[in-house]
Amino acid sequence: MSATIISGAKIARTIREELHGQVAELTAGGLVPGLATILVGDSPASQLYVGMKNRAAAEAGLHSRQSTLPEDTSEAGLLDLIATLNADPEVHGILVQLPLPKQIDEAKVLLAVDPAKDVDGFHPMNVGRLATGDPAVLAPCTPRGIVEMLMRSGHDPAGKHVVVVGRSNIVGKPMAFLLLRQAPGGNATVSVAHSRTADLGALTRTADILVVAVGRPGTVTADMVKPGAVVIDVGTNRVVDLDVDRGYRVVGDVDFDGVQEVAGAITPVPGGVGPMTIAMLLANTVEAAVRLRGGGA
Ligand code: L34
């Protein structure tokens, strides 16, 4: 058997076209949704991701701007910038790319973003609203993108056993909360595994849907997957490959070649979850803009 490939790139393109239409209507009505991204430091991966986010925003017709701050930026300097963006009526979404340099307290920064402009869904108020099942919350982009990708590829998680491998605040935990919601895209039975889980394979073999987000290549191999299961690979790991021009390849957390022989469906890396994350950032920004204006969509 060979798994169906779920193309996040293709689904994301469709969503971005839908958003483009919605943004055109809003713009005609005098509301241009605005996204402000903040990049601190010069991590090549972060530079790439933030660049892709601003490009996608501009393509969809959003107002977009990027602030790039040096690696040695002080916490106070970053908090000042966030305060300015919180007060700017042209900005409806604020994204601070993670990780941040060591001298900056991430928790403080996430608390400083106006929850109404928190298009990452990382502010503790939004985390709490997600955990309590508020249907109107701005949910973190990666897990929201995964739900969207499952629904649009015909894999409704309702009633299914979903095993999430990874317990990060960016993916694992919000993924579990979204899947538990009593709402479309939710109603799953959820298990969360992590580095201290005993016999990971025994648990993952019970998964109808397996979401892997640990940031380590080869975490899930074919023997850990139930035949026919849906496998969502969230990892984006750079591995050295001197045979390609840029000197590295991007691989996921799943042993794709082996697992695709067993799984019913699988997401590729690249071209899977990554593009969905970006599409959901745009969707969250449009939603935030509509809510900040007041009134419905
Ligand atoms: N605040 N920080 C904040 N929000 C986020 O949602 C993120 N994340 C993660 C890192 N830090 C963040 C992202 O945006 C990871 N991430 C992300 C987004 C997009 C892609 C990868 C990671 C992506 O589109 N990757 C391409 C491959 C790109 C390449 O060639 O390296 C893909 O097709 O998967």
CATH (domain of 238) = 3.40.50.720
Per-residue pLDDT tens digits for 161-209: 999 999 999 999 999 999 999 999 999 999 999 999 999 999 999 999 9
Distance from Cα 29 to the centre of ligand 1, integer Å:
32
Catalytic pick among 22, 117, 120, 208: 120
C-beta contacts of 78-84 below 8 A and 24+ residues apart: 78/38, 78/40, 78/104, 78/109, 79/108, 79/109, 79/112, 81/38, 82/38, 82/109, 82/112, 82/113, 83/112
Q: Residue 152 is encoded by which pair of tokens?
A: 């649009």
Catalytic pick among 97, 160, 173, 255: 97
Q: Which residues pair with 34 in a beta bridge?
A: 63
53 is catalytic: yes
pTM above 0.75, yes or no: yes
Whether residue 98 is found in the same domain as residue 224: no
Reported as a pLDDT band with limits 50, 70 and 90, residue 34 is very high
Reported as a pLDDT band with limits 50, 70 and 90, residue 96 is very high
- Note whether 106 and 98 are within 8 A (CB): yes
103 is catalytic: no
Catalytic pick among 22, 53, 208, 255: 53
pLDDT reading at 296 higher than 80: no
Whether residue 74 is found in the same domain as residue 193: no
Q: How many domains does the chain have?
A: 2
241 is catalytic: no
Distance from Cα 274 to the centre of ligand 1, integer Å:
5
What pLDDT does residue 161 have?
99
Per-residue pLDDT tens digits for 54-82: 999 999 999 999 999 999 999 999 999 99
- Domain holding 59, by residue range, is 30-115
pLDDT reading at 279 higher than 70: yes
Whether residue 209 is found in the same domain as residue 107: no
Percent of the chain with pLDDT over 70: 99
Residue at token pair 């713009």: 27
